């Protein structure tokens, strides 16, 4: 599974150059018994299997060294771009990939440094794909991975908003033209247009992000009129 797609494209080139590295730990190496079982049936009954805390703790204790420890699980807190930036500027991260019905709860009780995180509100077959996504998000922010130093700044979530619409050549395609403001050469007008578009898209598509937005948003006319009416009263 690892490095998988991270061995290709920009991440793959950065891997070859030594900008980042990945050490995989086979938890079965820390299991006991003839069959090296890493899971067992759920206490209290039910379908599926649960990852054993003794096996996982042995594997984790072999590498834990002060780096952040994330467990990929659907019940975790959604990981944010801010968290990704913190991880990319740290000395590294330890990722624990969930499987089956998940982890024995005692693992989190005994190892308080473990933070449970997820990608979004859906379930994968295992935490490996989620771990690859987290790694990719971190790797692309490392110095020397992307072409320009500012490539990772003007993107969705960086300032609490979704990214503004992007356009390129040709100027006209299927009757649709690139907005004239983007061809004006007036950088102040372009920046203002992009901010308004980012706010509009965020407000419509992600009201949860919009509610948390701490910038100086361009509020819709209805909100401005409502606020004026409240002041008049």
pLDDT tens digit sequence for 66-98: 999 999 999 999 999 999 999 999 999 999 999
Say what the pTM is.
0.84
Measured distance CA(118)–CA(134) in Å, rounded: 9
**Percentage above 70 pLDDT, the chain:** 89
Are residue 10 and residue 61 in the same domain, yes or no? yes
151 within some domain: no
pLDDT, averaged across the chain: 91
155 within some domain: no
Task: Identify the pLDDT of residue 90.
Answer: 96
162 within some domain: no
Are residue 178 and residue 98 in the same domain, yes or no? no
Task: Identify the pLDDT of residue 189.
Answer: 97
Mean pLDDT of 110-117: 97
Task: Identify the pLDDT of residue 94.
Answer: 98
165 within some domain: no
Confidence of residue 229 (pLDDT cuts 50, 70, 90): very low
Mean pLDDT of 16-26: 97
167 within some domain: no
Task: Identify the pLDDT of residue 217.
Answer: 54
Is the pLDDT at 117 greater than 90? The verdict is: yes
Give the H/E segment covering residue 176: strand 176-177
Are residue 123 and residue 208 in the same domain, yes or no? no
Of 139, 164, 197, which one is at a domain's C-terminal end?
A: 139
Confidence of residue 158 (pLDDT cuts 50, 70, 90): confident
Are residue 89 and residue 182 in the same domain, yes or no? no
Domain that holds residue 114: 4-139
Of 89, 119, 139, which one is at a domain's C-terminal end?
A: 139
Give alpha helix (H) positions in the chain: 9-16, 53-61, 81-88, 106-110, 127-139, 187-205, 207-212, 221-232
Confidence of residue 221 (pLDDT cuts 50, 70, 90): very low
Are residue 101 and residue 187 in the same domain, yes or no? no
Mean pLDDT of 94-107: 96
**What pLDDT, in 10s, does the model give residues 52-63?**
999 999 999 999
Are residue 115 and residue 198 in the same domain, yes or no? no
- Find the CATH number of the domain harbouring 24: 3.40.1280.10
Taking CA atoms, 36 is separated from 27, 55, 56, 97, 181, in Å, by: 9, 9, 12, 18, 64
Are residue 37 and residue 87 in the same domain, yes or no? yes
Q: Which residue, among 136, 154, 155, 157, has the nearest Cα to 145 in the 3D structure?
A: 136
Confidence of residue 224 (pLDDT cuts 50, 70, 90): very low
Helix, strand, coil: what percent of the chain each, to 5?
40, 15, 50
Number of domains within the chain: 2
């Amino acid at each position: 599974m690892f490095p998988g797609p991270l061995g290709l494209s920009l991440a793959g080139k950065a891997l070859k150059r030594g900008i980042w590295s990945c050490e995989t730990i086979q938890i079965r190496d820390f299991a006991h018994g003839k069959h090296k079982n890493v899971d067992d049936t759920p206490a209290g009954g039910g379908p599926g299997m649960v990852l054993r805390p003794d096996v996982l703790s042995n594997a984790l204790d072999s590498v834990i060294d002060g780096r952040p420890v994330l467990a990929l699980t659907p019940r975790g807190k959604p990981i944010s771009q801010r968290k990704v930036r913190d991880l990319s500027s740290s000395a590294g991260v330890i990722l624990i990939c969930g499987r089956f019905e998940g982890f024995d709860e005692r693992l989190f009780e005994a190892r308080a440094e473990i933070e449970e995180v997820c990608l979004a509100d859906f379930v994968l077959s295992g935490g490996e794909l989620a771990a690859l996504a987290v790694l990719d998000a971190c790797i692309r922010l490392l110095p020397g991975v992307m072409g320009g130093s500012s490539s990772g700044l003007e993107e969705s979530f960086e300032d609490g908003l979704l990214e503004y619409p992007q356009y390129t050549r040709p100027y006209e395609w299927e009757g649709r033209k690139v907005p004239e403001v983007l061809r004006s050469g007036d950088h102040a007008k372009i920046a203002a247009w992009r901010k308004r578009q980012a706010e509009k898209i965020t407000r419509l598509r992600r009201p949860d992000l919009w509610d948390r937005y701490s910038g100086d948003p361009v509020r819709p006319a209805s909100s401005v009129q409502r606020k004026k009416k409240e002041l008049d009263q």
